[in-house]
Structure 1
Amino acid sequence: MNGSCSSDQSGMDKERRNKRPASSKWIAASLAGVLWIMPVIGGELPLLQRGHASIAMAASSFTATKVSEEIITSGATKLKYKYTVTRSGSKASGLADVIRVDLNNPYVSIDVMTGKNGKLTTRQSTGGMAKETGAVAAVNGDYFNTSGEGAPIGGEVSGGTLVSTPSQLNGLYAFALTTDNKPVIDEFTFTGTVTAADGTQFPLSGVNKGAYSPEGGASAYSHFNAAYVYTDAWAAQDRPKNSSTSPTEVLVENGVITQISDKNTALKVTVPSGAYILRTHGTAAAFVADHLAVGQPLTVAYSLHSKTSGETMDPASLKMMIGGHTILVDKGKAAAFSRSVSSIGGYRARTALGYSADGRYVYVIAAEKNDNSSGMSLSELQSFMTSIGVYKGLNLDGGGSTTMVDRPLAETQTTLTFDTEYGTEQRSIVNGLGVYTNAPQGELKGIKISGSSVLLIGQTASYTLKGYDTYYNPIDVASANPSWKSSSGSVNVGGSQATAVKPGTATLTAASGSVSASIAVTVLGGDDLSSLKAGTASAPLKEGSVIAVPVTAVTKGGASISVPSSALKWEFVGFQGGVQDGKLSVNSVNPGVTTGYAIARYDGFSTAIVLTEAAAVPWEDFENVAYPIAFTTNVSGVQGTAAITDGSDNHAGKVLSLGYDMTAGTGKMYAYAQFNGTAGKSVPAAATSMTLDVMGDKSLNWLRAEFTDNSGATIYVDLAKAIDWTGWKTLNIDLTGSNMKFPATLKRLYVVNVEEGQDERAKTGAVAFDNIAFTMPSLSSEAGLKTGTAVMVIGQRTLTVNGTKKAIDSAPLVQNGTTYVPIRYVLDAFGGSAAWYPATRKIMVLRGSKALELTVNKKEFIINGKRQSSEVAPISLQGRTLVPLRLVSDQLGLTVKWEQKTKTVTIES
């Protein structure tokens, strides 16, 4: 991930080479994405469809348009495409990213990255491997058995050294680069022999392979009656695990046998550096017993073979090789799938690799599946690949494994090119493909300003000036003392520090010698926001309370920005307090107040935190559970437990533990913790949010809750789209969009293992729950509000509340079909308060859990931090401010009736 900025660029190349795995006689590989699991003796054979699929039908409606092109380094360019496609009569769109590598460029190369420190069975994220090896760009690689140690299914050559051999499976293609830089995509097989000192030979089945079910062989078990070599690139002591066989192992150092294990017993060592272990079983173990002895030499020979041409290939003739799955493109057209793709179907993130017809360009391809992109089917991927010039290409591991990183221009580290299916979470995988530069240091070619292009008023941000040389690699410019300036008064600049002063735009320009760069900075005002949201919507109104109150602004364009404390002004209603370092402190509560408000304002845009005596009502802490809790599932093969157990860490009391084992199940599988049989447990009043502590297992499974509401409808609430953490974590769940009718009952908390991409999630695990609470405004902020009936007559300065008439100083009126009333008297009748801010001509109305901000003569209003618009606006007449009755009553939960004949307005609560 690091690109050197030193003056000795040749040293930078040396540093990169040193970070990559050291070349030895053997090096091992890795794969990604479960295709099968090796069965134990007597178990079922894995359900893996064999044989060729029908010719893939290319997506005829598919179109792709390039939206950007950026140079990563000399010889490597990142291209982003937007694609559109018709699926079942509906339009879908998405994004795909391509790193195009020019093999004619002497300064760029590609190679395989393997686990940690170049070792198999270690696993690491794509970004982690790129950082470790010094890659300037990278993508995830081969398929692998996620329940195995972490070795690739296909063959791997890295740094010119064989790491792992192809598995005996049909239709799996690999990408290779020869020593003369010629790209090759083919289906390869492996042959090898072990030769004893007496000249006797035994066939070698592979190098550094996990257990799998071979196709077309004499046994369903890869290691049965077979000999395998494990090198020092295999880090695990199991060689391999779950092999259904007991080995006899031979340690070979410097070509000489130094140890032979007892029969059916593995050597209790990892492979020493520079050595290898011959792992044998059955007839292969008999070969060891009959022909090998400590102190004798042992020779191993091997070669690769093309299935399509029959040509024999010495692994030493390859710079690199990485395995994949089906072929996708051949001779510039969509090819028939070479293997069943039923397990990798659907619209997913995709990874692929291909090359151009002239062999000059390698295309490293990733299709995105995230909030901005709908993913691709395999046939759509074929269409995309042919549209960008791929002559021959294959499929790499996709789905949640799909990860691309690249080093932006002038930067020294790689970053995620796009969000994965799990957000910024990167799966740990066995190998990947890295792009490397060995260019010498060139002259300064350009500079780039890095920093935020959007600021909030009062926010101070730092900007960095970074340079790139004639080979588009980073070069140090900090010592040149660049000058900085701002084009407008919206932003003040001092050195590389910029402070936003007022709404508007400014261009920040930095110059270093004859080279300069600029960045446009927009300072957002309140009018640019669509919402302002506090991370905590409600809090306890209690002296001494301290509550974290992070505030996020959402622009009208949909971007979310954390609002710095310096950009906010706070007002407190009903209590005395303060906010410092993002935390709200309640110093004292005003006498008689049961509901308070902390109002945060940014350039006139407001949001409010409602503080009540019962902000979050404790619902269940599992300390004294008097009802049954049981485990249930939707699939007979799924097993598990749901029980109250002792907690751990800071949850030392009782917790609800849910353990599950879905390995014997199929399809979409659920593991439920069920409350009180089929009855559930009641949530008695309208809840706006739910909080609970969850101990995660990083299974990447889906976590949900199931409610039954007052109408009998089943309501499903997402707690976490992916359980991507371990240990305890507090989840805050917004219930306002659930349309749940209360009172309701919580029936079940549960884990879901969905069918799509099932290989990427753990089928066994355990989670726990504690401290479930609901925010129920009717039990807190709404509890003390007045109810009753108020009557006003248009043009009359009287108000009748629950039969009692009183004088008011401003009469309601009708103007252009809209009824306007003095809001203060409505609030006097039904509870709440209103404040007038003459400088901004705003009215802040507070009632219960509602904070409503209106502006005279503006149709836009803000309710609980969200900008909305009405057909009418508040008005000012003869020094009095009147508000549209219908607008205010709807927002505050009041009911209005109009009697045309008597011009009477009746308001009820």
Structure 2
Amino acid sequence: MKKLFVFICGHLWLIFFCFSISAQEFKTIQDGIEYAEMTREINNLPVKMNLLRLDLTKVRLDVVHAMDAAIGTETTSSIAMRHGAIAAINAGFFRLDKSIFAGDAAGVLQIDGRLLSESVNNRIALFISNKPKQTEVNFAHLNINDLFIIKKKDFYFSGINRQRKADELIKFTSYFRPTTLTENSGLEIVVRNGKIVEINDAKGDSPIPKDGFIISASGKMREQILPFVKVGRKIKFRTVVKFEAKESFPNTESRRTSITYSTAEDITNGVPQLIRNGKTEITWQQEKSSKAFVETKHPRTAVAKLKDGKFLMVTVDGRSEESGGIGLQNLAEILLEFGATDAMNLDGGGSTTMFAGGKVVNKPSDKEGERKVSDAILVFPRKKN
């Protein structure tokens, strides 16, 4: 096992982290999948990590939601075993409570080309595209949502497949639940084949058609939409991808990312970006996170693209004597050591879980054991052509 050694040079406040990767041994657990365990010492505390290094010409990646629905929770290992995956890690942030809406993605989520949850605060996202000869992964900041057009009027959804709150416009698809789980205080419009087929005013919990979707409006949004709706009226539907034209995210990259999105099958959310173009660039302020979240030594889950084209999935245990967790600056430095060119942080804390070889290989910190999560990134062998 390697350790992180700290040298104090010249001044007591000047600390350098000295890394060496040559001694790190990965073991092949299946063609295209390498696994390693590593312990470092950071600030006199042990930090235990589990790593999966993947050859994307030999494996494919899929984002899968708990219970194969837009809400609900399930352990990472259960999701993996239910789908026959070789390996897996927990993925995006989500609503963690005891309500029926638990497991709602707290950011963008797309599975098999279907947008199941809207993005939040221009946060970083992982794009996955399983092409015939290899899987492509990319990272980008984006704002993405759906809208519909009726009588030349655009209406943007407040959210997708989640709890409807006051003055909101929510899109419900068949990936949600059999019904919308709404109260009898709004307007629900049933759409099939681009036409309104049913209008339910002051009536909630409408059945969601498998071959369509429901537009659900409350409060002020109900008042705005009601004059436009009529059974038989045509509705156009679009997905809109928006980018912020900032110096750190120039227009040329916005266009490139738009193309990347158009080819992505699966997308999951995270916060924040850790590495960009081979350099540490933690964009917690841009993504409206907090300094405390970045600096506190939490259990972490992260993913990275490597210089050699491989993909790295990492979990860091924490909140125990065996492993003290890690701040995102130190995590980014370690990912750079392994050759990361781009990286992002996924949901961590009690959610942090890695599954490999038929079992959970890290030590989740949740007091109840392995936490039920929203979605996971699963690893499968690539089918031979």
Letter in 2 for 1:304: V
Check the 8 A contact 2:188/2:206 in 1, yes or no: no
Q: How many angstroms apart in 1 are the aligned matches of 2:349 and 2:30?
A: 28
Q: Which residue pairs with 1:658 in the alignment?
A: none
* SS across alignment from 1:419: coil
> 1:279 aligned to 195, 202, 216, which one?
216
Q: Which residue of 46, 71, 83 corresponds with 1:93?
A: 46
Q: Does 1:136 align with 2:57?
A: no
**Offset of residue 316 of structure 1:** 4.4
The letter of the residue matching 1:277 is: I
SS in 1 for 2:222: helix
**Deviations, residues 396-438 of structure 1 (Å, cap 9, x unaligned):** 111111011012xxxxxx2011221148821111111111113
TM-superposition CA deviations, 1:100-154 (whole Å, max 9, x none): 1222x1x4111111011x1021210000111122211111111112136121112
Q: Find the aligned partners of 2:32 and 2:321 in 1 and give their Cα distance.
A: 31
Matches within 5 A, 1:304-383: 304-307=241-244, 308=249, 309=251, 310-311=254-255, 312-313=258-259, 315-338=261-284, 339-343=289-293, 345-357=295-307, 360-369=309-318, 370-383=320-333
One-letter amino acid of the counterpart of residue 49, structure 2: A
Amino acid of the structure 2 residue aligned with 1:119: A
Name the residue aligned to 1:166.
119
| Structure 1 residues 327 and 261: alpha-carbon distance in aligned structure 2, compared to 1, 3 A threshold | same
C-alpha contact 1:72 1:136 (8 A) present in aligned 2: no
Q: Where does residue 755 of structure 1 map in the other structure? A: none
Change in Cα spacing, 1:199 to 1:399, as seen in structure 2 (3 Å) is: same
Matched, 1:291 2:228: yes
**Structure with greater contact order relative to length (CA < 8 Å, sep ≥ 6):** 2
Q: Counterpart of 1:745?
A: none
- Distance in 2 (CA, whole Å) between partners of 1:426 and 1:191 is 32
Q: 1:184 to 1:246 in 2, by over 3 A?
A: farther
Q: How does 1:678-689 map to 2 (within 5 A)?
A: none
Deviations 1:235-270 (A, max 9, x none): 2745579xxx9531112233332322214x42x234
2-structure distance, mates of 1:437, 1:175: 20
Q: CA deviation at 1:373?
A: 2.3
Q: Could you say which structure has the larger radius of gyration?
A: 1
SS in 2 for 1:383: helix
Note closer, same or farther for the CA distance 1:406–1:385 as it changes in structure 2 (3 Å cut): same
Inter-partner Cα distance in structure 2 for 1:130 and 1:330: 29
In structure 2, what is the Cα distance between the partners aligned to 1:64 and 1:399?
A: 27
Contact 1:258–1:294 (CA under 8 A) maintained in structure 2? yes
- What is aligned with 1:60? 16
2:345 and 2:157 map into 1 onto residues whose CA distance is 28
Q: Which has the higher strand share?
A: 1
Q: Contact 1:190–1:206 (CA<8 Å) still a contact in 2?
A: no
Q: 1:19-38 residue pairs with structure 2 within 5 A?
A: none
TM-score, with length taken from structure 1: 0.36
Tell me the equivalent position of 1:234. 176
Q: SS of the residue aligned with 1:374?
A: coil
Letter in 2 for 1:234: F
Q: Which runs of 5+ in 2 are unaligned?
A: 1-13
CA deviation after TM superposition for structure 1 residue 59, in Å: 7.5
- Please, which runs of 5 or more residues in structure 1 have no aligned partner? 1-57, 212-222, 408-413, 442-909
Residues 598-621 of structure 1 show CA distances to partners (whole Å, capped at 9, x for unaligned) of: xxxxxxxxxxxxxxxxxxxxxxxx
Q: What's the TM-score once normalised by structure 2's chain length? A: 0.81
**Partner of residue 253 from structure 1, selected from 183, 192, 195:** 192
**Mapped partners of 2:242, 2:341: distance in 1:** 22
Aligned counterparts of 1:192 and 1:158: Cα–Cα separation in 2:
15
When residues 75 and 93 of structure 1 are mapped into structure 2, their CA distance, relative to the original with a 3 A threshold, is same
- In structure 1, what is the Cα distance between the partners aligned to 2:315 and 2:25? 15
Moved over 6 A (4+): none
Number of the residue aligned with 1:429: 373
Structure 1 match to 2:4: none
SS at match of 1:382: helix
- Amino acid aligned to 2:188: E
**C-alpha separation between the residues in 2 aligned to 1:75 and 1:291?**
54
Q: 1:285 to 1:423 in 2, by over 3 A?
A: closer
Output aligned runs, 1:812-827, within 5 Å.
none
For 2:29, the equivalent position in structure 1 comes to 72
Read off the aligned partner of 1:289 and give its amino acid letter.
Answer: L
